[in-house]
Amino acid sequence: MLNIKERMDDVVRENGLRGVAKECKQELENNKPLNDVKRKSILSKYLNKFTTWLSPDQLNKTTVNIWLSVYVEKLHKEEKHG
């Protein structure tokens, strides 16, 4: 069972990931219409900041750019569907 500090660390980490993804999503929306080159350029701008919030487990599962894309898409769905 996780103790309180470990759970708080998880919450802080998740908030950090969502915060960076939200900034990235906002920039993507401000630069519409997007093409692949523009999208990749914007995503790559946020990779270093996003990487600092990923857990070692997440880093071992898949690449950082996929994680960032997933979080951006997740935020988009939450805003669209509540």
H/E segment holding residue 77: helix 64-81
- How far is residue 81's CA from residue 65's CA, in Å, rounded to a whole number? 24
Q: How far apart are CA 8 and CA 16, in angstroms?
A: 12
pLDDT digits (tens, 9 = 90+) for 19-76: 999 999 999 999 999 899 999 999 999 999 999 999 999 999 999 999 999 999 999 9
pLDDT at 5: 65
Helices then strands, each counted (H, E), the chain? 4, 0
Query: What pLDDT does 1 receive?
Result: 53
The full set of domain ranges for the chain reads: 4-81
Q: Which pLDDT does position 40 carry in this prediction?
A: 94
Region label for 55, one of left (φ > 0), alpha (ψ between -120 and 50) or beta (otherwise): beta
Residue 4, pLDDT > 70, answer no
- pLDDT number for residue 77: 95
